[in-house]
Amino acid sequence: AGCNVIGFYTHEVPSQMLVVQPIKEDAEGFSKEQLKPMIDDTPVLRETFYPETGRRDSRNTILKKSFPGGFLVMVGSNSASGFRRRDIQRVFLEEVDGYGRVARGSSTNAEGDPVTLAVKRTQNYDDRLIYENSTPTIKGQSRIEHDYNLSDQRRYYVPCPFCGHMQVLKWRNLRWEDNDPATVAYTCGEISKDGELKAGCGKAIEEHHKQTMLRNGEWRASHPGRRIIGFHIWAAYSPFTTWERLVEEWLNAQGNNELLQVFVNTVLGETWEGPAGEQIDHTGLLARRERYTTDVPAGVGLLTVGTDVQGDRLEVSIWGWGAGEEQWLIDHKVLWGDPHHDEVWRQLDVVLKREWKHASGADLRIRAMGVDAGGHHTLEVHSYCAARFSRGVMVMAMRGANVPGAAALQTPSPKSKAKGRLWTMGTEALKDLLYARLKLTTAAPGYVHFPIQVEDEYFRQLASEKAVTRYVRSRPVRQYQLKAGHRNEALDCAVLALAALIALGPIRDHLGVLVDQVNEAGRSGRKARPAGKRRRQRRAGTLSRGVEV
């Protein structure tokens, strides 16, 4: 629908237009896969847009199309620069529920809500147009639901082929027998939730009636006179699918909340308000605290750190790892200070250089640390990590990937030789792994231990997010959403520490051997040497980048 409106205004009322997609890659895909085919297949548009010359032409690029009297620019919602320096008469907000929002009123765009930023570009025009569409997502979190509720709420009414009763098609009116989708028919009338027929004739309408009903239908507003015009439509009206297919999809989704959410969002066109997304109960974690006899329990063979960077502090979690990646929280610290200044980074150096007493008597040092580089202190993080990468410990600047389905950790490009360069985390994959481990209730590979001194707020932060399904270019994507009223620094630190472990590479497969070596070092009075400090001649009992005894 957005392409049709763009095509109309380009040809009939040329002006300055802006298309906002969830991310830049979506904008590029929209340009190549939807806009260009429409232009190529529509003679009047082929003649209107400046032709592609095959050379570098600023008038016609993937993300900008020019024509006499105007232009069309396409941006990602997370690009602050995409909204600057432009006066726009017509804005097209595509898939607004995919704009990276964790809650209404917050955004991944550093300069604020992308919808508000885009609308502000139109303030110099009295005859502006603001067009918005989306597959809805989560009840209470959906931008499109919120904005549709402010509109005149138009729905498409179609006549019954038997009695002429005008009605909006509803899911509850589709009826079938014995779980057989082939028997589906639409019952004419207004049916209450308890099954009582309130209006209409109640006759069974077959699929072959649909086209005639659609041709004779009309849009009607629930709230006539409102300034905003809004339309709702769902898959039962579509000429490209059948009611039988919709019933098949519904039956296949039974017993699977993720599939049910996809059905509700993409077929019914409604927000999901079923059972809460996959999440962790923090009170159960609180009850699992243990009293360690030393800094580091006997099962630990290696330490990593995750450091989250905030505007007035660093939050630091030290994690220990043992056989099968059984893991122990060793400590969580808050280092107060402005990350723009050196003092708070010197405090982090103290943590990095500290020796931790192992239950065997050995002194253990940190092997790897991931530092959050995705906020407002990127330069400071890169500077800190680059200066310390080779000092016997891997200190890595890390940020979350900007694409769904990313691998748990992507190493820096081999073209970049600078140490301390950027590592990219697939945060969904890492959180899936961590939350699956938090659900384990008995000691086993992957089980997570906590020391007795950790307080309730830490566990609230660790369990602060829940897995939900959102839509990117109309495809379901699993993402984590922050619970209302929660902070997530502890979770971010745990994810960074896990990513630091993964960055150590093959050593993950030998954690059990490292535990044995550390315990042997403690019993013999020798020191467990930190990673990176290698002897010139390797001998038996040495693991690459691991513990040496």
pLDDT(495) > 90? yes
Residues 6+ apart with CB under 8 A from 232: 148, 153, 154, 155, 269
Residues 6+ apart with CB under 8 A from 379: none
Mean pLDDT over each residue of the chain, to the nearest integer: 86
Q: Which domains does the chain have, with CATH numbers?
A: 1-105+112-134 (3.40.50.300), 150-272 (no CATH), 282-523 (3.30.420.240)
In terms of Cβ atoms closer than 10 Å to its own Cβ (0-12, 13-18, 19+), residue 314 is buried
Cα angle, residue 57 at apex, residues 51 and 62 outer, rounded to 5°: 75
Distance CA 114, CA 306 (A): 30
- Give, rounded to a whole angstrom, the gap between the first and last alpha carbons of the chain: 68
pLDDT(416) > 80? no
Q: What is the mean pLDDT of residues 372-399?
A: 87
3-state DSSP helix/strand/coil percent for the chain, to nearest 5? 30, 25, 40
Task: Quick: pLDDT tens for 110-119.
Answer: 556 788 888 9
- H or E stretch covering 116: helix 114-120
Residue 47, helix vs strand vs coil? helix
Residue 401, helix vs strand vs coil? coil
Task: Quick: pLDDT tens for 238-252.
Answer: 999 999 999 999 999
Residue that wins the pLDDT comparison between 273 and 5: 5
Whether the pTM exceeds 0.85: the reply is no
